[in-house]
Chain A
Amino acid sequence: MKYLDEYRDPVAARRLLTEIRRQATRPWTLMEVCGGQTHSLLRHGIEAELEDTIELIHGPGCPVCVTPLEAVDLAQQLALRGDVTLASFGDMLRVPGSRRTLLDVQAEGGRVRAVYSPLDALAWARHHPYEQVVFFAVGFETTAPATALAVKKAAHDAVENFSLLVAHVRVLPAMEAIVRSPENRVQGFLAAGHVCTIMGYETYEPFVEEFGLPVVVTGFEPLDLLEGILACVRQLEGGQKNVENQYVRSVRREGNTAARDLVQEIYQVCDRPWRGLGVIPQGGLALRPAWRRFDARQRFAVEPLPIVESAVCRSAEVLAGRLKPPQCESFGTRCTPDAPLGAPMVSSEGACAAYFRYRSLPVA
């Protein structure tokens, strides 16, 4: 497929690999921020090929994984009310809450629907006017334009039985939290290509200035990742700290201004708890007052139940980049994609699922 196959060329990939080995004089520690990048690094064997050259720490950029437990529990409570249909991206359905998953809730008679897009949830609401449809709005800045558009369209079309359970998160405050942590070992970032497609990379310029770390906006295919790593290593070896854009075919400096304006119109920045990372100041998005009538938390007065974190799952350490998935005692034994203890083993972007799927394969 065009714009995919050519970025998976193994000969070109080996040339970039060798150039990275040639340039790196020290075992630099880089963090790829996005869960999609983590999967690609594992799937294509790049992480294993480079393990003696550089260390790749997997960042908290899996949207399903960082959605707070409180929001997962709340979604389940809404689905069990009887008058609410809870619509969600499919990945969220298998994420364990304090007591069960949304799939368990569905099996108990709760009303849960998997949808591809928040706009599909809105269409369902329009066609089922006697149901209250709540869309579980998880995800980073990449997903926020779609949920913002759904709210705007619901208002425009006067679809009053549609609302959002908003749990959107913002990447940059999480990167700041990681760098500020006394345990931080990250020396350079591969920034998330699709978040930057929306937000641009001008937002990273003050970050680079403040913290003195190189940031390379990077795509998701093997050649993208290798070129991003090479650019980051070159900067580190040369003592440079700049924002660099590897993913030029999609990312502009200012981002997608139409999408940014849409998000800005509907949402405002708020503090938000992240699963595994705690409350991150300015780490989330909430509906602006003018749009709060679409806020499911306000529409349905649901008392949150006490949160119960798993006693054995160590996903909080994985999400903070302090633990590699195979170092967890439950990895691959008590915790598998079929029976996950924590969100990173569920999601198509979770680090644990990536290691389980790809890391035991021989390197081709």
Chain B
Amino acid sequence: VVRWIDRESIFAQAEVEFDGLRRVCHMACVPEADEGDYVIVHAGIAISRIDAEAAQSVFETLAKLNDDDGWVTAPPTGPPAKADQAAPKRECARANDRIV
């Protein structure tokens, strides 16, 4: 959310930026959003404010996998396979297993 245009009316509006593109969106369903917050916009109206704290939950799941199983978090070594050199699918899956 870049800036509120009208926060009071039942047809509240704000300017929202989408990866560089700005557009006026209706905010009637997300009145709690503040400037700087991230919102999900669908068909011209904001439907949700992204909860920054909750957004970390998937990484907590991953961290738990690490704790439980002693997984290695380091990225794969060596150059990534290019699409045109990709091995047949099942071999590719096995390669992924090794990486993990």
Question: Which A residues are closer than 8 A to B by beta carbons?
Answer: 1-3, 6-7, 11-12, 14-19, 21, 48-49, 52, 89, 116-120, 139, 142-143, 145-147, 149, 152-153, 156, 194, 197-198, 223-224, 227, 230, 246, 248-251, 256, 258-259, 262, 361-364
Contacts and interface: CB of A to CB of B under 8 A. Distances in A.
7 contacts: A14-B99, A15-B100, A18-B96, A146-B44, A248-B57, A250-B51, A256-B48
Interface residues of B, number: 45
A223 B56 CA distance: 12
Given A250-B48, A256-B29, A156 B11 contact: yes
A354 to B, nearest CB: 17
B43 A116 contact: yes
B45 A17 contact: no
B100 A363 contact: no
Contacts of B28: 149, 258, 262
Contact of B45 (A6, A49, A146): A146
Contact of B47 (A145, A224, A230): A145
A120 B75 CA distance: 46
Contacts of B69: 19
B61 A117 contact: no
A252 B80 CA distance: 38
Interface string B26-38: 1011110000001
Contacts of B43: 89, 116-118, 139, 143, 146-147
Given A11-B75, A249-B50, A250-B40, 16 more contacts: A3-B50, A12-B58, A16-B61, A89-B43, A116-B43, A149-B26, A149-B28, A156-B11, A197-B40, A227-B61, A246-B58, A249-B52, A249-B55, A258-B31, A259-B47, A362-B92
Nearest to A361: B83
Given A227-B58, A249-B55, A363 B89 contact: yes
A197 B83 contact: no
Contacts of A230: 61
A249 B11 contact: no
Nearest to B42: A142
Contacts of B76: 11
The CB with the most chain B CB atoms within 10 A, among A2, A15, A152, A223, is that of: A15
A119 B71 contact: no
Given A149-B45, A198-B47, A361-B83, A12 B96 contact: no
A249 B57 contact: yes
Contact of A145 (B45, B52, B71, B96): B45
A119 B96 contact: no
Given A15-B62, A116-B44, A363 B86 contact: yes
A14 B100 contact: yes
B19 A1 contact: yes
Contacts of A15: 62, 65, 71, 73, 100
B67 interface: no
A25 B45 CA distance: 43
Contact of A249 (B54, B73, B92, B100): B54
Given A149-B26, A250-B48, A262-B29, A194 B89 contact: no
In order of increasing CB-CB distance, the 8 nearest A-B pairs are A117-B44, A362-B86, A248-B54, A146-B43, A249-B55, A259-B29, A18-B100, A250-B48
Contacts of B48: 197, 250-251, 256
B54 to A, nearest CB: 4
Interface string B1-13: 0000000001100
B47 to A, nearest CB: 6
Given A17-B96, A18-B97, A48-B89, A256 B45 contact: no
Among A3, A142, A149, A194, residue most surrounded by chain B Cβ atoms (within 10 Å): A149
Contact of A224 (B44, B58, B93): B58
A7 B58 contact: yes
Nearest to A141: B47
Contacts of B19: 1
